[in-house]
Amino acid sequence: MVEQTQPLLLRHLPRTFEATITLDGSKSISNRALIILALCDANAGDYLSHLSTSNDTTTLLRLLETRHQTNTFDAGDAGTVFRFMAAYLATQQGTQILTGSKRMLERPIGPLVTALRTLGADIQYLGQEGYPPLQIGTPAGLGAQQHQLRINAGVSSQFLSALLMIGPYLPNGLELIPEGNVVSRPYLDMTMNLMRTFGAICEWHDDRIVVAPGTYTPRPFRVEADWSAASYWYSFVALSDGATLRLNGLDQVSVQGDAVLSEMMTAFGVTSVFDQDGVAIRKNGTSRQMFEWDFIECPDIAQTLAVTCAARGMQGLFTGLETLSIKETDRIAAIKQELQKIESNFVKLPPRFNKKNPEKLYYMVDGQAIIPAHQPPSFATYGDHRMAMAFAPLALLGDIIIESPGVVAKSYPGFWDDVRAVLKVEEF
């Protein structure tokens, strides 16, 4: 296993390869399923299989397994865990403390807390207003007086998902009215799909989501493989000279928004052939001159596509990046900074370039990535797992260094082991 603090030198990797990988379970699906089973007081181990082995999921599993023995919960740097636990703890008896890492204390939680307070939750800020840590007290009739919520949908879909999942346990259910531009809509659909899988009744009705009062019913459930993790392997294939890679566990018809990856990667000459076990991806076509995509429904793969565009020397036009600045790091600033090291640019376009959709912000990737032979570029990861994995495929172009490579444990602990196996490298 790669150490967190030791920089990783990836020597110029082979540009032709053929291999098979069985991907880990989806972190997003795993975390939702864990909260749902906790709400009906079921033991996750009795019902869930192929759970994600990511730090985020193991953190959530640990917190839920000890929920009856402690009143202090540390979510670390896991934003999903913190948000989901905030809503979950608001339904529980007793006074609880919910905290996290230094970076977590800088990430806004205000809209979710305000919504929970509107429902009747007893939540106090223990530090700066609008930010963790939180003290969450015993609810006094949570949802009894108020069950309709209006919430800004433009900050994080995880706020809405956290609220939706507790909806069946409110005496009058929940009527959630997202206001503004709904970011990452597929994640809301994922949440609702899982809620229905475990017996909840929830539907979109015009501009709102209505959740009926009730309970969840435990049942055996297998977590599908992670499409976000697949994005790095699609990038490896896109930068290859004719690779073939089989990714087991992926579903073509998926509740994950990142499954759109198979479509977007056709722009880079990568084809996808699905069967009952997964997908075979191949580099057997030519790239287009320009790539354009709205990432509003799949922001987690924006970094991967930005690096892939730079590596191919393809101009990329990106929009829908509104949530990237409040992730594990400011991902927009991080992409810009690191791509500059290889003579590629990531810039926000001025309004005059956006006449068709003036309400949207557009970013452009421009310039052919150059990996100097005499001095491997060293890419900072900013404590962000996706920065490390998005930049790794550049090693097909030349020697590179990934700083703090152990950050991949947050979502894909076995990533570097898989890179070694696929590229047939004994050691880095």
To the query of whether residue 300 is one of the catalytic residues in this protein, the response is yes
Q: Is the dihedral of CA 145, 196, 320, 341 positive or negative?
A: positive
Of residues 352 and 199, more confidently modeled: 199
Which residue is catalytic, options 24, 56, 77, 300? 300
Q: Report pLDDT digits (tens) over 5-29.
A: 689 999 888 899 999 999 999 999 9
Domain ranges of the chain: 8-25+224-423, 27-222
Which residue matches tokens 């421009």?
A: 366
Share of the chain above pLDDT 90, in %: 78
Calpha distance 410→322 (Å, rounded): 22
Decide if pLDDT at 197 tops 70: yes
Question: Does 1 have pLDDT greater than 60?
Answer: no
Domains 8-25+224-423 and 27-222 share a fold: yes
Residue 59 has pLDDT above 50, yes or no: yes
Confidence label for 186 from pLDDT (cuts 50, 70 and 90): confident
Phi and psi, residue 244, nearest 5°: -130, 130
Alpha-carbon distance of 191 to 165, in angstroms, equals 7
d(CA 104, CA 74): 10
In this predicted structure, the answer to whether residue 4 has a pLDDT above a threshold of 70 is no
Confidence of residue 159 (pLDDT cuts 50, 70, 90): very high
What does the mean pLDDT of the chain come to?
92
Asked if the model's pLDDT at residue 3 lies above 50, the reply is: no
Percent of the chain with pLDDT over 70: 96
Label residue 143 left, alpha or beta by phi (over 0 means left) and psi (-120 to 50 means alpha). left
Alpha helices in 198-346 (DSSP H): 227-238, 261-264, 302-312, 331-339
Distance CA 183, CA 327 (A): 14
Query: What was the pLDDT predicted at 236?
Result: 97
* Fold category of 27-222 in CATH: UDP-n-acetylglucosamine1-carboxyvinyl-transferase; Chain (3.65.10)
Which of these, 12, 162, 136, 198, lies nearest to 83 by C-alpha position?
Answer: 162
Query: Quick check: 2 pLDDT over 60?
Result: no
pLDDT value at residue 358: 65
Give the position of tokens 């020597």: 11
Phi, psi angle pair for 60, to nearest 5°: -65, -45
How far apart CA 388 and CA 338 sit, in angstroms, is 11
Tokens of 261: 């990856």
Contacts of residue 244, Cβ cutoff 8 Å, sequence gap at least 6: 17, 18, 237, 280, 281, 282, 283
How is residue 300 written in tokens?
């987690």
What is the model's pLDDT at position 355? 64
| pLDDT on residue 286 | 80
Rounded average pLDDT over 200-224: 96
Residue the block writes with tokens 């709205």: 294
Length of the chain: 428
Residue 49 has pLDDT above 50, yes or no: yes
Per-residue pLDDT tens over the stretch 94-148: 999 999 999 899 999 999 999 999 999 999 999 999 999 999 998 878 988 889 9
**Residues 282-298: tens digit of each pLDDT:** 998 888 889 999 998 89
Q: Is residue 157 over pLDDT 90?
A: no
Q: Cα separation of 214 and 200, whole Å?
A: 7
Q: What is the pLDDT of residue 182?
A: 77
CATH fold of 8-25+224-423: UDP-n-acetylglucosamine1-carboxyvinyl-transferase; Chain (3.65.10)
pLDDT at 426: 72
pLDDT in tens, 348-393: 988 766 666 667 788 999 999 999 988 999 999 999 999 999 999 9
Do 170 and 143 contact (CB within 8 A), yes or no?
yes
- Per-residue pLDDT of 297-351, as tens digits, reads 899 999 999 999 999 999 999 988 887 776 667 899 999 999 999 999 999 988 7
